[in-house]
Amino acid sequence: MKFLLGVKMRKRSRFKLLKYLAVAGLITLLVIFAFNDTLLWPSLPKKTPTPKNLHDVISPSTYRFILNQPELCEKKKSPFLVLMIPVTLESREARTAIRRTWGQHGLIPGVDILHLFVVGQPAQSDPVLQEHFERESNEYGDIIQMNFVDSYHNLTIKTMMIMNWIATYCQGALYTMKIDADVFLNVRYLVDYLHGRDESSRKDYITGSVISDAVPHRDSSNKWYIPEDLYPDTWYPPYVSGAAYVFSTDLARKISWASRFVRPIPLEDVYVGMCLQVLGVKPVYATQFLGLRNLFEVRRLSYERCTFSKRIVVNGFNPQNLIRIWHDFQKSQSTC
């Protein structure tokens, strides 16, 4: 009887010891996860978070949705591509042109592509314009609006709203494209280009027109002026032109995370490049023919059907010109 009691006591002691070890291990893991981001991002050096008052400027939690489409990606559980288009409240003509051209539904059969217009608020509120805007949103279901002031200097805020929306509502998408409203987009070429990429392009991938030799403008009269106290370095890190770029959707969450360690600046494309630098991600130049042809043409080109058929984007189109060339461009599949 004493032998049996001794066996039971030893078993209970072992069980308690294992229990204590399991609890201690769990507590250790929780402490590590809570205080050390490098476990989640093992290749990254330890970073100092941006002061809260500065990060709040670009943090999505600072702002609220006025209009949202949270179920859009649920209807298309894994869209191939989501086009996120920053526009202003007043730019109804541009939105109409995009819906009639490269943003139209079902453009590439068998490929799910969604488009969303991302909007802030005018500095001066206009209740009548807002009412018309909300009717437009109800009609088309393709508008996101948040309550930050829509201005050139707030484009970084708008871009971080785009990243947050994708990370929150559309993680199932393979690729996301941020594209301005005055850009011509060759959707078929883009889809073929992305289909031609290997599996590695579905993680930590961003492509466009890469700028790798930019320096801060210190002249206060320059549109892109950045004072030294805001950005003291001599060179910007490599970044993709903000006119249009494509990235694997996993990067939206990672860029949002990296923004905690990057002081906001008003140049949204440079800011994304700074976040990529924190992540250790290098943007990829989209070229063909040994780099001689830039597929993301951010300079303006005169329209020529077969030239445009060999580009993904070309910059600098007003709504009327976009519609005008679009009808002719449809002939490129059979003539170029």
5 contacts: CB under 8 Å, gap ≥ 6: none
- pLDDT band with cut points at 50, 70 and 90 for residue 202: confident
- pLDDT band with cut points at 50, 70 and 90 for residue 299: confident
State the pLDDT at residue 33. 35
Above 60 in pLDDT, residue 19? Answer: no
Averaged pLDDT of the chain? 87
Question: At 30, phi and psi to the nearest 5?
Answer: -60, -40
261 contacts: CB under 8 Å, gap ≥ 6: 47, 48, 49, 50, 278
Assessment of whether the complete model's pTM goes beyond 0.75 = yes
3-state SS of 153-166 is HHHHHHHHHHHHHH
Least-confidence region, from 15-19, 175-179, 181-185, 281-285 = 15-19
Nearest to 152 by CA among 302, 38, 268, 309: 268
238-292 pLDDT per residue, tens: 999 999 999 999 999 999 999 999 999 999 999 999 999 999 999 999 988 666 7
54 contacts: CB under 8 Å, gap ≥ 6: 263, 264
201 contacts: CB under 8 Å, gap ≥ 6: 194, 248
Position of tokens 């003291």?
Answer: 232
Domain ranges of the chain: 52-335
Position of tokens 């770029």?
Answer: 245
Q: Which neighbouring-strand residues pair with 83? A: 115, 177
Q: Which neighbouring-strand residues pair with 143? A: 117
Rounded Cα distance between 77 and 35, Å, is 34
Above 50 in pLDDT, residue 327? Answer: yes
Q: 151: which 2 tokens?
A: 């201005």
Mean pLDDT of 89-117: 96
Mean pLDDT of 57-63: 91
Mean pLDDT of 100-124: 95
Above 80 in pLDDT, residue 35? Answer: no
- pLDDT band with cut points at 50, 70 and 90 for residue 7: very low
CATH 1.10.10.10 fits domain 52-335: no
Of the chain, the percentage scoring pLDDT greater than 70 comes to 85
306 contacts: CB under 8 Å, gap ≥ 6: 332, 335, 336
Of the chain, the percentage scoring pLDDT greater than 90 comes to 73
Rounded Cα distance between 163 and 262, Å, is 15
Mean pLDDT of 97-105: 97
